[in-house]
Amino acid sequence: MGRLDGKVALITGAARGQGATEAELFAKEGAKVIITDLQEEGINELANKIKGNGGTVLALKQDVSSEEDWQKTVDEGIKAFGKIDILVNNAGILSFKTVTEISKAEFEKILSINTTGTFLGMKYVIPNMQENGGGSIVNISSLAGIYGVGGAAYNASKGAVRTLTKNAALTYGKESIRVNSVHPGTIDTPMLKDVLQTEESREHAASTGALPYIGQPIDVAYCVLFLASDEARFITGGEYLIDGGALTM
The pLDDT confidence band at residue 6, using thresholds 50, 70 and 90, is: very high
Of residues 128 and 248, more confidence is placed in: 128
pLDDT in tens, 33-90: 999 999 999 999 999 999 999 999 999 999 999 999 999 999 999 999 999 999 999 9
3-class secondary structure, 120: helix
Distance CA 174, CA 207 (A): 42
Mind listing the domains of the chain with CATH numbers? Answer: 8-241 (3.40.50.720)
Q: CB under 8 Å, gap of 24 or more: what pairs does 64-69 form? A: 64/12, 64/13, 64/36, 64/89, 64/91, 64/113, 64/117, 64/118, 64/120, 64/121, 65/112, 65/113, 65/116, 65/117, 65/120, 66/120, 67/120
For residue 232, pLDDT over 60 is answered with yes
In this prediction, residues 160-178 reach a mean pLDDT of 98
| pLDDT over 70 percentage in the chain | 92
How close are the terminal C-alpha atoms of the chain, in Å? Answer: 40
The pLDDT confidence band at residue 200, using thresholds 50, 70 and 90, is: low
Question: Which pLDDT belongs to residue 188?
Answer: 83
Question: Which pLDDT belongs to residue 22?
Answer: 98
Residue 118: count other Cβ atoms within 10 Å of its Cβ. Answer: 29
**Element (DSSP H or E) covering residue 61:** strand 56-61
Strands 239-242 and 135-140: unpaired
Question: Which pLDDT belongs to residue 210?
Answer: 80
Catalytic residues: 154
The pLDDT confidence band at residue 21, using thresholds 50, 70 and 90, is: very high
Assess contact for 84 and 34: CB atoms under 8 A.
yes
3-class secondary structure, 179: strand
For residue 190, pLDDT over 70 is answered with no
Query: Cα–Cα distances in Å, from 135 out to 173, 188, 226?
Result: 10, 29, 13
Kindly report the pTM of this predicted structure: 0.94
Angle at 234 between CA 232 and CA 235, to 5 degrees: 65
